[in-house]
A and B are shown apart, each in its own frame.
Chain A
Amino acid sequence: MRRIHVLVPALLLVAGCSTIGEDSGGGGAPSSDRVVLITHDSFSLPKPLIKKFEDESGYDLVVRGSGDAGVLTNKLVLTKDDPLGDVSFGVDNTFASRALDAGVFAPYDAPLPDGADQYRLPGDDDHDLTPIDNGNVCVNVDDTWFAAHHLAPPRTLDDLVDPAYRDLFVTPGAATSSPGMAFLLTTIAKYGEDGWQDWWATLLANGAKLVDGWSQAYEVDFTQGGGKGDRPIVLSYDSSPAFTVSGGKSSTSALLDTCFRQVEYAGVLAGAQNPKGAEALVDFLLTPEVQAALPESMYVFPVDASVPLPTEWAKFAKQPTDPYAVDPADISAHRDEWLRAWSDVTSR
């Protein structure tokens, strides 16, 4: 009898916790009443904004987000015959060509806000993709460290291989990190097909440290990160200085001559069950409200030049005027080869 006394409440507790039978969160709504957004795990917008979209468009927004831009792109390519949803946000300019070549998107010519035209994907003549946000991957330096050590901080890629900065730089690797890949592309754009491998060999000989991802580089090894590391030069973003502000001053700055621009796009998926809803979502992402929310929600700059930035961003997150660029079609064609060559140089 006592056995029953113990087990019955335990079983009831367990049954109460189960997720079985829970409303499947819009999953049951007919496909014409909902828009399914396929995105990466960094997608985030304030709830009132999402509510506003749902109220004004009359569609339920269902968000499916996982992985990074690479995972997202490959998911879309692999499921293109039976798409996971109606619309996608988050494919960036380093992966976009792969998605376009596979025919993942259907053309949609959304009316672009002021200044957004410059972010269009080169080669996307059918306007499959609509630019939504942008941000630059740049080398960052800890200004307080350099002031304390009476050393002028580096300014360019050439400076990073200067023996004066030996053992001071940490960067995430290109094979495992999206900013790391952007940095590899920066060096390919700067030193060309023939020169970048030598530059990397010199960089590593100069004591640069490679780690697997941005969190490791910034939070563990960088002197201004959460873990108080011991390297004052790190690969991060142009927006990062806005996050190291204290007492009205930022302790870090981005080197604007070392930047690679990443642009994130939205697009209507070919074969979408609700193409009208998909187009409505792309338009929604371009509205001033969403554009203004991008810095705080997703740590990126809006493509709409007329939207005001948060105070700290306006003051400390300077954007480069002429970042390095590599043609998206080139990236798509050579990604494999470049990464292999990079792995060979860096694991030597």
Chain B
Amino acid sequence: MTRWSSLSRPLALAALAAVPLAVLGVFFVLPVLGMISEGFWSGGAFDPGAVLEVLGRPRVHRVVWFTVWSALAGTAFSLLLGIPAAHLLHRRSFPGRRLLRAALLVPFVLPTVVVGVAFRELIGEAGPLGFLGLDGSAGAIVAGLVFFNVAVVIRAVGAAWESLDPRPAEAAAALGAGPAHVLRTVTLPMLRPAIVSAASVVFLFCATAFGVVLTLGGLRYSSVETEIYLLTTNLLDLQAAAALSIVQLLAITALLFVTSRLRAVPDPSLARSTARPPRVSRGDWPGVLATALVVVLVGLPIAALVAGSLQVGDGYGLANYRALTTEGSRNALLVPATQALLTSLRTAVDATWMALSLGLLVAVVVTRRSRTRSERRARGVLDGLFMLPLGVSAVTLGFGFLITLDRPPVDFRDSLLLVPIAQALVALPLVVRTLAPVLGGVDDRQRQAAASLGAGPLRTFLTVDLPVVWKPLLAAAGFAFAVSLGEFGATSFLAREDHPTLPIVIFHLIGHPGAMNYGMALAASVLLAATTAAVLLLVERLRVPSVGSF
């Protein structure tokens, strides 16, 4: 019996990992390697020297340095604001809390091209915040990065915090520890896996930010991502692009190594409960302050967007919204914006189920207690592997698709499914990073108990893991849906002209002259934001009734 299970266990896990690995291999590793090897084989000859030479350029050093420090600053501020806000939004009850939670994820889906416009209307020379002198500064870039990413911290940390057992903290408080002391010695250590997970994802998002750096930095700053874009789409300097892609891959590997160390806790298992959250009290001022700051940071650009979308000529009205059902004032669009929204939603549904099913498999595989050192190492590598899509340029991936997935059995260049698959790959790390800390926190003895009472692996999962993972699963579904709705980089490469998503239509509208197109672009962005918030609210309402009884 024991012999059989010790052999079948790794096999079963390998089988679980096989599907996600195959998808990652075909839709990520293959295209990226394809693009990198284009750089190494220049003119038909293998020439690694030329690629390495690029790494010595002073410009490359400048670009890498800027990328690292701006991403670190963006991550630090996102954590600073996000963690207290997560506490207020997930551990305290007050009216409108659910709405606020959904609304804060809205920036995540807004196309940077429109947010850039909204931001710069605020901080530009002529804007109401122009006196700050932020336009075209590194400060504006960091503010933009926080705007887009603070929701990731709130949601990922909040999901873990929500189901955290409050009793150890209460016990510490009863024994006389002050709130700060409780936070430092009890709560934060328990949250560390979730915080480190969120931080690593946010860092990757910041390090690969594209539109924010270009638009808000006034062309004075280049990041690795903007440089790869320039090299690939404009100069066709594939050697330099390959060199920078390798820098990206090495940097992610280093980051993953560091975070896996930071994430590791001696005993990840946590007691969980789903007690009703208390009301806001005086001691919650840090959370209230942080949430207020986040609301201002996120709210101002969105308010500017809404105001702009309502502007018609010199007055206000709904004409821009009514125009969304048409094809633009001068046939600017092949399909009406409302139809593009439908395409966006349908694509997002596909991307979400793909990301959730793959992500759940990966999270289960990487969090099961390892029995040997090599097994643990294999899980660590697997865990890291699925983070890679976040750190690699969408341009590299997009061009890679075209040159590698071009012949049977994998001629996907025409397929409608290419877009949701690419989006699912982008969402996958978020899903894994949201689920893994929680699944890792399940006391393995519960599973053993279930097994010894005769439950099979599936039954064990359904009765032990699913109730715990249900809320984070919803959070992850929201993430995946939002990522898909807002994804622009890879989608713009792969979407078909007759099936554009809404961000692509918005990009199209704002790139063309005419007051009507501008107004429609803003109105379409508001529509995208409102739809996202509505869907997220709905997703949060889906609950497994058995949760709470356990």
A residues contacting B by CB (< 8 A) are: 2-3, 6, 10, 14, 17-20, 22, 24-25, 27, 39, 41-44, 46-47, 63-68, 70-71, 73-75, 77-79, 82, 84, 98, 173, 175-176, 209-216, 218-221, 225-231, 236-237, 239-240, 243, 296-297, 299, 335-336, 339, 346-347
Contacts and interface: CB of A to CB of B under 8 A. Distances in A.
B546 A3 contact: yes
Given A215-B117, A215-B511, 13 more contacts: A18-B349, A19-B417, A39-B497, A44-B332, A82-B406, A212-B218, A213-B511, A214-B511, A215-B510, A220-B120, A229-B124, A296-B330, A297-B331
Nearest to A335: B235
Contacts of A43: 497
Interface in B97-134: 113, 116-117, 120-121, 124-126
Contact of B349 (A14, A64, A296): A14
Given A77-B236, A216-B116, A67 B510 contact: no
Contacts of A67: 233, 492-493
Given A19-B346, A226-B518, A78 B496 contact: no
B350 A18 contact: yes
Nearest to B62: A347
Nearest to B343: A19
Nearest to A229: B126
B504 interface: yes
B403 A78 contact: yes
Interface in B207-255: 214-215, 218-220, 226, 230, 232-237
A10 B544 CA distance: 12
Given A10-B542, A67-B233, A78-B399, A20 B518 contact: no
B353 interface: yes
Interface string B502-523: 0010011011111100110010
Contacts of B543: 6
Interface of B: 38, 113, 116-117, 120-121, 124-126, 136, 214-215, 218-220, 226, 230, 232-237, 308, 330-334, 345-347, 349-350, 353, 399, 402-403, 406-407, 413-417, 420, 492-499, 504, 507-508, 510-515, 518-519, 522, 542-546
Nearest to B236: A74
Given A75-B402, A84-B402, A176-B214, A239 B513 contact: yes
Contacts of A39: 497
Nearest to B124: A220
Contact of B308 (A14, A19, A214, A227): A227
7 contacts: A17-B349, A19-B350, A27-B415, A212-B219, A230-B125, A297-B331, A339-B234
Contact of B230 (A176, A209, A219, A297): A176
A227 B121 contact: yes
The 5 closest A-B pairs by CB, nearest first: A226-B518, A230-B126, A212-B214, A243-B513, A17-B349
A141 B199 CA distance: 47
Contacts of A219: 117, 510, 518
Contacts of B496: 25, 63-64
Contacts of A78: 38, 399, 402-403
A19 B424 CA distance: 14
Contacts of A221: 120, 124-126
A211 B113 CA distance: 12
Contacts of A64: 496-497
Contact of B499 (A25, A211, A227): A25
A84 B497 CA distance: 14
Contacts of A25: 416, 496, 498-499
A243 B332 contact: no
Contacts of A10: 542
